Structure 1
Amino acid sequence: MIELIEFLNLAQVNRPIESQLSKALLRVIERGDFILGPESSGFEQSFANYIGVKHAIGTGSGLDALTLIISALNLPSGSEIIVPANTYIATILAILHNQCVPILVEPCVETHNIDVTHLSDFLSDRTRAVIAVHLYGQISDWTAIEEFTDRHGLILIEDAAQAHGASTAGRKAGALGDAAAFSFYPTKNLGALGDGGMVTTDDDALAQRVRALRNYGKGDSGVSESIGWNSRLDELQAAVLQVKLPYLDAWNNRRRAIARIYQQRITHPLVQLPKAVEPNAHVWHQFVIRTEQRARLASHLRDNGIGTAIHYPVPAHRQPVLRDRSNGTLPITERLSDQILSLPMNTSLTDEQVISIAEAINTWPTIT
């Protein structure tokens, strides 16, 4: 009988700390504070300490976090923001919400992150910022991106939605740019039991503006001084995340161990493995392989009881919202979108399961 290996089962992932989560939730329910209370302020401080920044501001989602950062910058309408073409649509929606223009740049085929060699090609007198997305848990080519933004006086924003705990040269994602956005969607390396997000920054003025904007634009006066949103990390989710945060490094280490097994065991000639520039700093939110025969491989794995996913099946520039907003053809992004396949990657997997997934890939019949 074939053992079923789901792509992701969040009940299994959360089961080892289920009793701690239940106690935390009950504590919030009994206290009766549900919005902007001690749980959210406590977790904000804990997360700021973990990342190594002065400020962490909880929001309703990762999209909201990025939207609020851009809004707080007060960029002129029509400002251009350079962004990877190979990213989840939320990164680009945050730009559009602020009446700015996304300038899409092709990815590096090996890392899937933005290809820094093309940044200068898209610089104009309207360019105001760069968003560096740390896709799948690997930090972008930070030295090159930082040098580019410093040279041209641009704002540097991190989309760290998939990079909780990732680092480069001893600095964590979220402490590298002028500000960073995190998501706590349940599937993330640090996931809530619902939606949630966080802005991190060392900029006092920016932090103050984000705090106001997330809460109806209210300043110290308690009245709305700007056009804000209702986007706050609630107490229940903050309590859950406070329980999970101390486990994050160990969970990321387990993901690295799983990735090593995949890297060592998968030897199929038609499968290309992902490249880790800094193996001990990558946090492997997803383990994404490539093959020109993706549908066949996914079907083969499904027949062997193994779940897979695609991150992402329709590139952002091909989606209706960007139909008339794309800045050119993006053949590399489209090729990746046609070839990528995400294998199971979560802390509930056993070594034996990971090995069996690799063996199933290696026994996939080739068609010549």
Structure 2
Amino acid sequence: MAIYVWGYLKEFAEEKEEILEAVTGVLESGKLVLGPNVSAFEEEFAQYCGVSFGIGVDNGTNSITLALRALGVKPGDEVITVSNTAVPTVSAIVSAGATPVFVDIDQETYLMDVALIENAITEKTTCIVPVHLYGQCVDMGKLNDIAGKHGLKVLEDCAQAHGATQNGKVAGSMSDASSFSFYPTKILGAYGDGGMILTSSQSVQEKLKRLRFYGMESTYYAVEHGFNSRLDEMHAAILRKKLVHLDTYIQKRRDIAQMYDELLADTELILPVTADDNFHAYYLYVVRHPKRDEIMEKLKKREIFLNISYPWPIHTMTGYAHLGWEEGSLPNTEAAAKEIFSLPMFPTLEKADVEEVCVALKEIMNDL
């Protein structure tokens, strides 16, 4: 039977009764948009992350765009981030009218190299967007020190880090605001799109609630220009059920990661490195090998289907050529993109499947 990098069917079978209960409850409530489930999930997820407010939105991309606007980022501003991330990080910055400015990544963790931030700051810089990648956090202590020194806002991109921590602080609680995606593959995923912004600022929360709903407050009157970017009741109700299981999901992911660590320790693969003070939630288990493409093709013949996050750094994509970044400008990012790949990782992945993947990897690498 084929093994895929991600799957949800077994998890759904296990949780089917409570998921359908949530769906039925919404359909029978008479309230489908911005109802009690959205409000409750906003409060519950904010509490889980140790933040005062949650603002549910339609997807993770818009959570970044709206959060940047709410933090005061305006057209012409520069926002520092990384190129080793999902396109939505950069797409959202551009959609907010700002210009992304990239810094390179750490060679071991593939996270933003915080030591490079200050050299990227200009008079136009207003915000830093650290991406908590693959399930662990950027060094937020050092990053916040730099941001404070230069009067910059910080927006955490937590799309891949639900439940990850650093020095006991939960991802999303270490900045002016934070962005989450609930895309189905995420550590906490819905059965469609969804997103949330967290903040402990009352004024930022109030602005975000206007921005997600046409700029309106309590009546059908636009106080400012806004958007249609609401988390719907159905997904909020489902996410409330799944939030109860989040710590269990993470522990299962960590158990799978430990199996990979042990079974692949004596191979040529470069295995994931957890940064100091981080609790890794393992959204992805990312390994590295110079003959990645050959390995992945041979695994396909054994019906083992992996993924690459990410094969093309964003600064090398034609869609962002106008930003003016040349190939070679971010050497660590570009080198990693040629060699990294992700092994199967999801809570209901069977031990036998992990073992089969590892046996196949060893046999293939022995023949390279």
Query: What's the TM-score bracket when you normalise by the shorter of the two chains?
Result: over 0.9
- Give, in whole Å, the separation in 2 of the partners of 1:68 and 1:117: 28
Q: Does 1:8 align with 2:3?
A: no
Partner of 1:47: 45
- Report the secondary structure of 1:36's partner residue: coil
The structural deviation recorded for 1:171 is 0.7
Quote the Cα distance in structure 1 between the aligned partners of 2:110 and 2:129: 15
- The structure 2 residue matched to 1:314, chosen from 307, 312, 315, is 312
Match 1:98 to one of 92, 96, 99: 96
2:200 matched residue in structure 1: 202
| Counterpart Cα distance in 1 of 2:278 and 2:252 | 11
Q: 2:73 touches 2:127 (CA, 8 Å); kept in 1?
A: no
Q: What corresponds to 1:339 in structure 2?
A: 339
From 164, 178, 181, give the equivalent of 1:180: 178
Structure-2 change in CA distance of 1:363 and 1:67 (3 Å):
same
In structure 2, the residue matched to 1:109 is 107
Further displaced range: 292-301 or 233-242: 292-301
Distance 1:277 1:315 in 2: 22
Q: Hey, what's the Cα distance between the residues in 2 that align with 1:14 and 1:262?
A: 25
Counterpart residue number, 1:348:
348
User: Quick one: percent identity of the two aligned structures?
Assistant: 34
Could you tell me whether the CA contact under 8 Å between 1:290 and 1:340 is conserved in 2? yes
Please give the secondary structure, in 1, of the residue aligned with 2:305: coil
The count of corresponding residues between Structure 1 and Structure 2 is 366
Q: Does the CA-based 8 Å contact 1:77-1:98 persist in structure 2?
A: yes
What TM-score do you get using the length of structure 2 for normalisation? 0.96
SS at match of 1:31: coil
1:260 counterpart residue number = 258
The residue type equivalent to 1:176 in the other structure is M
Corresponding letter in the other structure for 1:359: V
- Greater mean alpha carbon deviation, residues 276-285 or residues 353-362: 276-285
Closer, same or farther: CA 165–365 of 1 in aligned 2, 3 Å? closer
Q: Which runs of 5+ in 1 are unaligned?
A: none
CA contact (8 A) 1:13 1:346 kept: no
Give the whole-Å Cα distance in 1 for the aligned partners of 2:366 and 2:268.
Answer: 8
Secondary structure of the structure 1 residue equivalent to 2:47: helix
Question: What residue number does 2:136 align with?
Answer: 138
Deviation at 1:320, TM superposition (A): 2.0
Within the candidate set 297, 302, 305, 2:303 is matched to 305
Q: Within 2, Cα distance between the matches of 1:28 and 1:254?
A: 30
Q: Post-superposition shift, 1:279?
A: 8.3
Residue 293 of structure 2 corresponds to which residue in structure 1?
Answer: 295
Question: Normalising by structure 1, what TM-score?
Answer: 0.96
2:54 aligned partner = 56
Q: Shift of the alpha carbon at 1:367?
A: 6.1
RMSD of aligned alpha carbons: 1.5
SS of the residue corresponding to residue 304 of structure 2 reads: coil
Q: Equivalents in 1 of 2:176, 2:122: separation in Å?
A: 21
Q: Which residue of 2 aligns with 1:364?
A: 364
Partner amino acid, structure 1, of 2:347: T
C-alpha distance in structure 2 between counterparts of 1:204 and 1:139, whole Å: 25
